[in-house]
Amino acid sequence: MAARRQAAGGAEARICDAIRASILARRLAPGTKLQELALGRFFGVSRTIVRQALRRLDHEGIVSLREKRVAVVARPSAADVRHTFAARRVIEAATVEAAVARIDKASIAALRRVVRDENAAYARGDRGAGLERSLAFHHRLADLCGNPVLARYARELVLQSSLAIALYERSGVAHARADHDALVDAIARRDARRAGRLMAAHVDELESRLALDGAPAPSLDEIFADR
Amino acid sequence: MAARRQAAGGAEARICDAIRASILARRLAPGTKLQELALGRFFGVSRTIVRQALRRLDHEGIVSLREKRVAVVARPSAADVRHTFAARRVIEAATVEAAVARIDKASIAALRRVVRDENAAYARGDRGAGLERSLAFHHRLADLCGNPVLARYARELVLQSSLAIALYERSGVAHARADHDALVDAIARRDARRAGRLMAAHVDELESRLALDGAPAPSLDEIFADR
DNA sequence: GACGACAATCGTGTATACACGATGAGGACC
DNA sequence: GGTCCTCATCGTGTATACACGATTGTCGTC
């Protein structure tokens, strides 16, 4: 199983990608310890490279270093999550507005295809595939805005949001699948204003599905720290 | 001269701060090589720590690693700069709007004081002090928005902007000193809409002072690459 | 005298070594 | 029998060692 490729210069990127993907796919739960030596053995590199990858992910906000010396998958507080979503609202609204101004027909069609696949996945109960498509939708939109700086921030925040959702999701809340459709419609109509408003509302809707109020954290061992 | 403190755990932060400050103060020009061993000797740490600091600054966009193996102070292209300012416009407008909603009288007064000092510095011809105060103004505003995520992005972009200004500044263009005053006025009046618009205009004004069009880069050795 | 090739040197990329701090187990004392 | 202290072990933080690639200086040749 060990994806032990030749360990090129891109080994760090490989580790980052693997961890990001695992977090998105819910295989890595928030709070999971990430040991340098073990990761290094698995990926066939030394601690040095693993360390660089972990520091990068820390900077991206999905891994927490300085938690008493051990790297763990970040476990953002409710306040952190609110800030993440507030920032995401601002930035993704801006990215979609910018994207409307320069998107071409082909990209719109591609976007539609992603949303169609997403809806199909949810319809057949494949939550994992649905989530993946949903993320792909946001990532594509970020790339389409034509501004790498904004796109990077948008991607970071979408990733952090996924972490937040994994932590705080209320069970039994249905996916609001119409949002992405409406968004693409507004984009296709070149209605930047409306697309921006829809995106802001969409982000709000995502946040509203979380249980940020009463429950401080559906967490790990902290629950048992009742001494 | 060597600021060789006891090299605590914050050694990396110290190096980052020193490099950031030097870039802001124009002591480190874009394109300057940053050698690991030399920096390490100066700060009294090993290459390991210097490396971490350089990687962090690379992530922040003010140091460029992968430029044929040597770390240099970033030298953003005109397109990069446009993207930076576009992102900054979006994010700083959002931060100032958020700040208006929660700022107290004391913070407003502190802000006014910074602007007053800034204007005084420019008035007496102390450009360095003026620039420093100007940056302090933007940094404070970022902190006052109450959202650490947005604040971090804002600080990053302000820093990158300073780099861009150092690279592309048109000589003989006066500082538009009224901008900050008007901004504080709008904030004091709790007019979030107006404050946001003023900030966007202010960022545009800053960008308009750059020579991004004809001159691709008032650069270093690239000038002589006329073969 | 100029150009090209080779060799030495310098600086980075990666791995490893060493030491400190934290964590958990085992034992002794209460 | 429970609790607290001590010691061993594990994992990280930092420094150093090693090797590759690049750059520069020098020498030989045209």
Q: What is the DSSP string of B145-206?
A: TS-HHHHHHHHHHHHHHHHHHHHHBPTTPPP-THHHHHHHHHHHTT-HHHHHHHHHHHHHHH
Q: Looking at A23-37, B142-156, B211-225, which range is the least confident one?
A: B211-225
pLDDT, residue A38, reads 94
Q: What number is the average pLDDT over the span B194-204?
A: 97
| Residue in chain B lying closest to A9 (CA) | B66
Task: Say which nucleotide is closest to residue B35, CA to C1' distance.
Answer: C11
pLDDT, residue A2, reads 36
Per-residue DSSP letter, B33: B
pLDDT, residue B9, reads 57
pLDDT, residue A9, reads 58
Determine if strand D comes within 7 Å of the CB of A70. yes
pLDDT, residue B227, reads 34
Q: Where are the beta strands (DSSP E) in B16-127?
A: 63-67, 70-73
pLDDT, residue B215, reads 54
B102 touches chain A (CB under 8 A): no
Strand partners, B64: B72
Closest CA to A43 of A60, A23, A19, A69: A19
Q: Is the pLDDT of residue A200 over 60?
A: yes
A197 touches chain B (CB under 8 A): no
| pLDDT tens figures, B44-91 | 999 999 999 999 999 999 999 987 789 999 999 999 999 999 999 999
pLDDT, residue B69, reads 83
pLDDT, residue A147, reads 97
Task: Say which nucleotide is closest to residue B51, CA to C1' distance.
Answer: C12
pLDDT, residue A220, reads 42
pLDDT, residue B176, reads 72
| pLDDT tens figures, A69-103 | 899 999 999 999 999 999 999 999 999 999 999 99
Q: What number is the average pLDDT over the span A32-48?
A: 94
Nearest CA distance, A153 vs chain B (angstrom): 8
Q: What span, in angstroms and rounded, lies between the C-alpha atoms of A74 and B77?
A: 34
Q: What average pLDDT does chain A have?
A: 88
| pLDDT tens figures, A149-182 | 999 999 999 999 999 998 898 876 777 778 999 9
Q: What span, in angstroms and rounded, lies between the C-alpha atoms of B128 and B165?
A: 14
Nearest CA distance, A2 vs chain B (angstrom): 28
pLDDT, residue A66, reads 81
Determine if strand D comes within 7 Å of the CB of A143. no
Taking contacts as CB-CB distances below 8 angstroms, the residues of chain A near B147 are 83, 86-87
Determine if strand D comes within 7 Å of the CB of A39. no
- Comparing CB atoms, the residue among B61, B86, B94 nearest residue A90 is B94
Contact (CB<8Å) A147/B98: no
Task: Say which nucleotide is closest to residue A9, CA to C1' distance.
Answer: C13
A154 touches chain B (CB under 8 A): no
B83 touches chain A (CB under 8 A): yes
Q: What number is the average pLDDT over the span A94-114?
A: 96
B150 touches chain A (CB under 8 A): yes
Q: Is the pLDDT of residue B7 over 90?
A: no
Nearest CA distance, A51 vs chain B (angstrom): 10
Predicted confidence band of residue B6 (pLDDT cuts 50, 70, 90): very low
Question: Of the spans A48-62, B119-133, B170-184, which averages the highest pLDDT?
Answer: A48-62
For residues A40 and B1, which has the higher predicted lDDT (pLDDT)?
A40
pLDDT, residue A180, reads 95
Taking contacts as CB-CB distances below 8 angstroms, the residues of chain B near A8 are none
- Comparing CB atoms, the residue among A52, A83, A147 nearest residue B83 is A147
Q: What span, in angstroms and rounded, lies between the C-alpha atoms of B38 and B44?
A: 10
Contacts of B1 (CB under 8 A, 6+ apart): none
| pLDDT tens figures, B86-143 | 999 999 999 999 999 999 999 999 999 999 999 999 999 898 899 899 999 999 999 9
Buried b (16+ CB within 10 A) or exposed e, A47-56: eebbbbbbbb
A157 touches chain B (CB under 8 A): yes
